[in-house]
Amino acid sequence: MPKLTRRHFVLSGMTAIVSTRMRSARAPSRSPNRPLAIASANRVTLPDGTVYYNGIRATARAFELMRAGSDPLDAVIAGVTIVEDDPNDMSVGYGGLPNEEGEVELDASVMHGPTGRCGAVAALRYIKNPSQVARLVMEETDHILLVGEGALRFALSFGFQKQDLLTERARQVWLQWRRERSERDHWMQNKLPGALRSALPTLDWAHMTGTINCLAVTEAGDLAGVTTTSGLAFKVPGRVGDSPIIGCGLYVDNDVGAAGSTGWGEDNIRVVGAHTVVENMRRGMSPLQACLDALRRIVKLYGGRPAHQVNFYAINKNGEYAGAAIFKGAQFAVTDARGSRVEDSAYLLERPPQ
């Protein structure tokens, strides 16, 4: 297990939207910080209380593969496959929390900087590695996004195995949610239903979301990214979030950098977040400034009182990187020549509205 260290980006006395005084996540260095992999980092709590961060295993694997000469897309997909396969991670792949009818529906996208190609799948059922299916859409078709039944049939035609993705643990959480949902629950709510809180005491509203985004740059400066998720817990069947939408949950431009997102997908889609972040970097912003600018656009949509958490992650071609979120408390995983660690994301607001 890689050693975890922390760096803190918490800003002194900040209770409102920060303006220009954010410090850069990484001071520009003369020699590029490559290879580098970063990822979102969800805390996963095992039934016995053990806690780990999902993203750190992905970045460590992606880094190791790039050090051995791997293509950056192969590296990030290998990294997130560990997380998709993990039954204890209730936000991604096998073991993910299901939709309101108890079915796990997965979304994923991939983008390869050197070729500018991309692929995605949405509302994919029964296949635990949607990121690998997204890559096949990119490699084997002239299309970019396959959904639902068509995506499933496409995956099966390439030999993917159909399996039930609902683990007993996720099913228990869903049953509890269903038992306790009330007429006052609605799809717009941004607070954790009481049902979920009692189902899994360690869960908070942020855990209704959960995704892994992993971005990488090789020693030669080639970029790639992947985003994979089971989407919002208890979503309406057929609901598709930002993760499989190129430009929202993921965007890569080999001349500039790469960006991805986790959190409330609908809010991200409204600002086409990942593309916005990459375009910000193209215009000269650091990864951190680029992420904060995109987050401010979301905050503005809510008149300064956003309802949900949204996270952005970004790297540029030199291996500068950042993670930033609307609300305090988010983290992200990094692996570079200094090792693997979890860092605190920068943020705009201390806490969600009560």
Is 247 among the residues that bind ligand ASP (CB under 6 A)?
A: no
Cis link prior to 35 (omega < 30° from 0)?
yes
Binding mask 183-222 for ligand ASP (x = CB under 6 A): --------------------------xxx-----------
# chain residues binding ligand ASP, by CB under 6 A: 13
Nearer to ligand ASP, 242 or 344 (CB): 242
Given 241, 247, 323, 352, the residue binding ligand ASP (CB under 6 A): 241
Sheet of 36-40, strands arranged across: 145-147, 117-124, 106-112, 223-229, 211-217, 36-40, 331-336, 339-344
Nearer to ligand ASP, 44 or 66 (CB): 44
Is 44 among the residues that bind ligand ASP (CB under 6 A)?
A: no
Cα–Cα dist 163/237, whole Å: 18
Closest CA relative to residue 214, chosen from 204, 202, 228? 228
Closest CA relative to residue 258, chosen from 310, 312, 219, 316? 316
**Token pair 């992999």 is at which residue?**
37
In the complex, the smallest distance separating the C-beta of residue 262 from ligand ASP, rounded to whole angstroms, is 4
Q: 185-198: string of b/e by CB count within 10 Å (b at 16+)?
A: beeeeeebbebbbe
Nearer to ligand ASP, 9 or 264 (CB): 264
Query: What is the token pair recorded at 248?
Result: 């929202």
Tell me the Cα Rg of the chain. Answer: 19
Chain length of the chain: 354
Nearer to ligand ASP, 65 or 258 (CB): 258
Phi, psi for residue 211 in degrees, rounded to 5: -165, 160
Is 244 among the residues that bind ligand ASP (CB under 6 A)?
A: no
Catalytic one among 59, 81, 167, 211? 211
**Amino acid code (one letter) for 159:** G
Query: If you ran DSSP here, which 8-state letter would residue 208 be given?
Result: G
Cα–Cα dist 80/337, whole Å: 20
In the complex, the smallest distance separating the C-beta of residue 91 from ligand ASP, rounded to whole angstroms, is 6
Query: What is the token pair recorded at 243?
Result: 């993760």
228 counts as catalytic: no
In the complex, the smallest distance separating the C-beta of residue 239 from ligand ASP, rounded to whole angstroms, is 8
Is 54 among the residues that bind ligand ASP (CB under 6 A)?
A: no
Interaction with ligand ASP in 253-312: which residues (CB under 6 A)? 262-265
Nearer to ligand ASP, 128 or 317 (CB): 128
Is 131 among the residues that bind ligand ASP (CB under 6 A)?
A: no
Nearer to ligand ASP, 9 or 313 (CB): 313
Given 99, 167, 243, 280, the residue binding ligand ASP (CB under 6 A): 243
Query: If you ran DSSP here, which 8-state letter would residue 207 be given?
Result: G
**Which of 93-101, 115-123, 238-246, 342-350 is the region at the interface with ligand ASP (rule: CB under 6 A)?**
238-246
Given 228, 229, 331, 340, the residue binding ligand ASP (CB under 6 A): 229
**Token pair 């970019």 is at which residue?**
144
| Strands 331-336 and 36-40, bridge-based pairing | antiparallel
The catalytic site residues sit at 211
Residues that bind ligand ASP (CB under 6 A): 209-211, 229, 231-232, 241-243, 262-265
